[in-house]
Structure 1
Amino acid sequence: MSNDRGTYLVRLIPEHSGPVRIGRLGTLTLAGGELLYVGSALGPGGLAARCRHHGRVSARPHWHLDYLRPHCRVGGCWVARGLERREHVWARALGTMPGTSWPLARFGASDCDCPAHLIRLEQTPETAALSGLLGVPLVWRAARDQFEEFDA
């Protein structure tokens, strides 16, 4: 996959319950369920580099997700290749799924008008269901070895 570009969903599994400070954005309360973070990887390094970044805990947090990562395990990423910027449409679509909520307004969405790019859900959706909802074929990549083997 090397430099393939596209849009992705990171599956996050909270490792505890309670408040987490997300930089200057505010406090997110982890309270059961799972989280999906929606993002685009249209720049250098593409999907592989972005998913590897999210698979690691950052020593110097910059993005909203960097602040959340020490409190969640990454289960993997769903990816869709292409140069179209899809994360805004995806975030809104995911928010319509039954049992979903926005755990912290503007998370990952400080530069757009989306409610947030982080969605809380009660259980992990199936890849086929997500593909249908989002209107594109998704490929699942498990977080083995922090996505070091992200090819194909």
Structure 2
Amino acid sequence: MVGGTYTIVVNLPEPETLTVGSLGRQELPAGYYAYTGSAFGPGGFARVDRHHEMAAGKRDTRHWHVDYLLGDTAARIETVARSPEAEIECAVAREVAETASVVIDGFGASDCDCPAHLHHHAARDALVAAVRGAHDRHG
């Protein structure tokens, strides 16, 4: 199965407070979030399907930080950018962070030295453009 790097853009319609594994309590403002992840493990981009299932309430088990956002809130996935066979997760996350209004410290970045892999933006279109641009430049 093909793997690579992906970024999901998530709409969080209301502010939320949630507990995210070892990160603890997180205050998330309403708006749009970009979560960048790697799909090089077993199943490849099937991981994105799993994220959709989590957001739809079809899964209960939380494995990754993003599972708490998708499974414990009214968040819904708006769009997904994929870069097949490109190992650019950290480069994309760092570039998207440059346009973010809020960086969720440590979120999704427990296995690298990035500040975060989840970034908030108030405007959907600007965030989607930043995500697609980062995938295009680094993929």
**TM-score normalised per structure 2:** 0.83
**Percent identity of the aligned residues?**
34
Supply the AA of the counterpart residue of 1:4. Answer: V
- The aligned residue for residue 36 of structure 1 is 34
- The aligned residue for residue 121 of structure 2 is 121
2:50 aligned to which of 53, 58, 69:
53
Task: Check whether the contact 1:7–1:86 (CA below 8 A) recurs between aligned residues.
Answer: yes
Supply the AA of the counterpart residue of 1:52. Answer: D
The equivalences for 1:125-144 within 5 A come to 125=125, 129-134=130-135, 135-136=137-138
Task: Check whether the contact 2:91–2:138 (CA below 8 A) recurs between aligned residues.
Answer: no
Give the structure with the higher percent helix. 2
Change (3 A) 1:9 1:44: same
**Per-residue Cα deviation, 1:37-90 (whole angstroms, up to 9, x for no partner):** 00011122211x1111111223121211111112111113111111x3211111
Gaps of 5+ in 2: none
Task: Check whether the contact 2:92–2:131 (CA below 8 A) recurs between aligned residues.
Answer: no
Change (3 A) 1:66 1:130: closer
Deviating beyond 6 angstroms after TM superposition, the runs of 4 or more aligned structure 1 residues are: none
Supply the RMSD in Å over aligned alpha carbons. Answer: 1.9
SS of equivalent to 1:69:
helix
**TM-score normalised per structure 1:** 0.77
**CA radius of gyration, larger in:** 1
Q: Is 1:100 matched with 2:101?
A: yes
